[in-house]
Each structure stands twice: as structure tokens, then as C-alpha cells.
Amino acid sequence: MFAAESLSVIRADRLLFEAVSFSLAPGAALLLKGRNGAGKSTLLRVLAGLRRPDHGDTNWNNVNILQDREAHAARIGWLSHHDAIKPALTARENLLFPARVQGGDIDTALQRMGLADLSDLPARMLSAGQKRRLALARAMLGDRPLWLLDEPLNGLDTPSITLLTAALAAHRARGGIVIAATHQGQPLPGAALLQLAPE
């Protein structure tokens, strides 16, 4: 059970969002919506424990995540709006360290996002969409219980969106939780909707 209670964040003397609350049972999904700058990415950072909220609590099974950030980190599959792909390393080498940390098999992860044929190509040769898929494959490594995805559909073509939708459905069927920020598309059928600021 992953729950947020009246989260508020102030940035540069401006109230970014306030009183955000939700509660997600295993298998549930939450779609963050909002215009640019509404605080979707910041909220994801708060939920990951990377940033402290100015008000409110985030709890995993009724324990505040800030009590043990390392333990909370071990639950997260993370995709930020940056791809964090090292261009000098091959696709496979980019996943070596994450695979050691998160567990999981690199080949399976690459296959899941349709990158098996590109695994030994330097990442600088990959297109923007392929890099995004590699970053998604990394977030899925080890099938951690909580996936926090910032704009997962960015730059993906239709076949990749199908792959991603299938992976998200499989994750939820296993009891995993997904929270995704997006302003386009709907990769999460049946997800709860959280509107951060009126559009």
C-alpha cells in the first residue's frame, strides 16, 4: 500500500501543488496529469524520496518513506524525463550497474522493450526513441514493486507503446504499482487520475 497524505511543495516562493493525497493498493495505477510546470516531475521526486515535501507525508505500508530512504529506493523502478544513458557505453553496458543494483536479467529487460538486436551498439548510435526504450528497460529491471515513470511515452513509436502497455499491464498483474506522469496518451487502462493543475 503506497499512500500520500496532503503533500505540498513550495518552489521559489511559489506553491507548486498542495494537498495531494492518494492511496494505491498493489496492482493499482495512478496517472498524473497537468500542464507544463504543474509539478508532475517534482511530485515524482517526492514520491521517490529524492525531495522532501514542504508539507505532508508519503507512506509505504504505513511507514514514512523518509525514515529509511535507502529501503524505499530499493522498491523503485525510476524513469525521469532525462534518459540517463551514457553514450560511450553499449546498450547492454548501460544496464550493467542497474542490473547489479536492482537484480533482473539484462537480456530479458532489453527484449521486453524490443532492444535485443541493438544490445551491443554504443548508445550514442541509438535514436531518441531507442534511448527512451533503453531507459524504460532499465526502470523495469528486477521488477521492483513501485514504478515511477515521468513521460514514459515520450518519443516512442506505436509498436513500442504496445510493448510498454503490455509491460505495464504485466507489472500490475503481478501486484506492482505504477505512477506515471504524462500529458498525452493513456498507457494505463483503468488507472486513477490525478489532475495537478487545471488545464
Partner 1 sequence: MNAFFPLIAREIRLALRHGSDTTAALLFFLVVTALFPLAIGPEPAALARLAPGIIWVGALLAALLPLERLFGADYEDGALDLLLLSGLPPSLIGLAKAISHWLTTGLPLLAIAAPLAIMLHLPANSLTPLLIGLLPGTLTLSLLGTAGSAIVLGARRGAVLLPILVLPLAVPVVIFGAGAADPAQSPAGRTQSLLLEAAFFMFCLPICPLAAGAGLRAAGE
Residues in the chain: 199
Q: Cα separations (Å) of 92 from 10, 19, 25, 52, 72?
A: 39, 41, 33, 33, 26
Q: State which residue, 20 or 123, has the beta carbon closest to partner 1.
A: 123
Residue range at the interface with partner 1 (CB under 8 A); choices 21-29, 45-53, 57-65, 109-117: 45-53
Q: Is 151 near partner 1 (CB under 8 A)? A: no
Q: State which residue, 35 or 52, has the beta carbon closest to partner 1.
A: 52
Residue 4 and residue 56 in contact, taking contact as beta carbons nearer than 8 Å: yes
Q: State which residue, 88 or 173, has the beta carbon closest to partner 1.
A: 88
Per-residue exposure over 47-61, b if at least 16 CB sit within 10 Å of its own CB, e if not: bbbbeebeebebbbe
Q: Is 81 near partner 1 (CB under 8 A)? A: yes
CB of 138 to partner 1, least distance (A): 8
Q: Is 84 near partner 1 (CB under 8 A)? A: yes
Site residue total, partner 1 (CB under 8 A): 27
Residue among 3, 89, 121, 197 that touches partner 1 (CB under 8 A): 89
Q: State which residue, 81 or 174, has the beta carbon closest to partner 1.
A: 81
User: Cα(151)–Cα(41) distance, rounded to whole angstroms?
Assistant: 9
User: Cα(67)–Cα(131) distance, rounded to whole angstroms?
Assistant: 34
CB of 46 to partner 1, least distance (A): 10
Q: Cα separations (Å) of 156 from 50, 54, 78, 103, 135?
A: 27, 34, 17, 25, 12
- What would the grid cell of residue 29 be? 495505477
Residue among 65, 85, 126, 163 that touches partner 1 (CB under 8 A): 85
Helices (H) and strands (E) in the chain, counts: 6, 9
Footprint of partner 1 on 93-132 (CB under 8 A) = 93, 96-98, 100-101
User: Cα(186)–Cα(190) distance, rounded to whole angstroms?
Assistant: 9
Question: Residues in the site for partner 1, rule: CB under 8 A?
Answer: 45, 48, 50-52, 70-71, 73-74, 76, 78, 80-86, 88-89, 93, 96-98, 100-101, 138
